[in-house]
């Protein structure tokens, strides 16, 4: 099956710094990537939908200036958490949908962000 690689798997950063998370589709082209956030013991909440070459579409309540998304190529999307605070600590997961395939999305391994 298709593989999505997310990096890093864990990151600890100081409050006020920025953190970049990468999501790569390794063996397919992904025109659309999705970014999710998961709070402890809760489900995944869609943050934004990223389309290659255009601006991301953010879900209601998600600060676009806080969570910067870039989808510069068909195999890479990045999420940058800017000026991170402890409340941004969470599990972030990306998924990618194959070009031409309109149902199944493949998920990355997730990134555990801890802001201290």
Partner 1 sequence: AQSVTQLDSHVSVSEGTPVLLRCNYSSSYSPSLFWYVQHPNKGLQLLLKYTSAATLVKGINGFEAEFKKSETSFHLTKPSAHMSDAAEYFCVVSNTGGFKTIFGAGTRLFVKA
Which residues sit at the interface with partner 1, rule CB under 8 A?
1, 6, 32, 34, 36, 42-46, 49, 93, 95, 97, 101-110, 112
Q: Which of 10/85 has CB closer to partner 1? A: 10
DSSP per-residue letters across the chain: ---EEEE-SEEEE-TT--EEEEEEESSS-EEEEEEEEE-TTS-EEEEEEEETTS--EEPTT--TTTEEEEEEETTEEEEEE-S--GGG-EEEEEEEEETT--S-EEE---EEEEE-
User: In angstroms, what is the minimal distance from the CB of 15 to partner 1?
Assistant: 23
CB of 96 to partner 1, least distance (A): 12
CB of residue 97 to partner 1, shortest distance in Å:
6
* 49/80 with CB nearer partner 1: 49
- Residue 16 or 59: the one with the smaller Cβ distance to partner 1 is 59
Tell me how far the alpha carbon of residue 49 is from its chain's centroid: 9
Q: How far apart are CA 106 and CA 26, in angstroms?
A: 11
**Smallest separation (angstroms) from partner 1 to the CB of 94:** 9
Nearer Cβ to partner 1, position 7 or 83? 7
């Amino acid at each position: 099956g298709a593989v999505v690689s997310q990096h890093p798997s864990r990151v600890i950063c100081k409050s006020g710094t920025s953190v970049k998370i990468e999501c790569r589709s390794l063996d397919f082209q992904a025109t659309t990537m999705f970014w999710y956030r998961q709070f402890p013991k809760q489900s995944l909440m869609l943050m934004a939908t990223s389309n290659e070459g255009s601006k991301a579409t953010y879900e209601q309540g998600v600060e676009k200036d806080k969570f910067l998304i870039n989808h510069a190529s068909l195999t890479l999307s990045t999420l940058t958490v800017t000026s991170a605070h402890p409340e941004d600590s969470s599990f972030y997961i990306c998924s990618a949908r194959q070009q031409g395939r309109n149902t199944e999305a493949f998920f990355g391994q997730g990134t555990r962000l801890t802001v201290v």
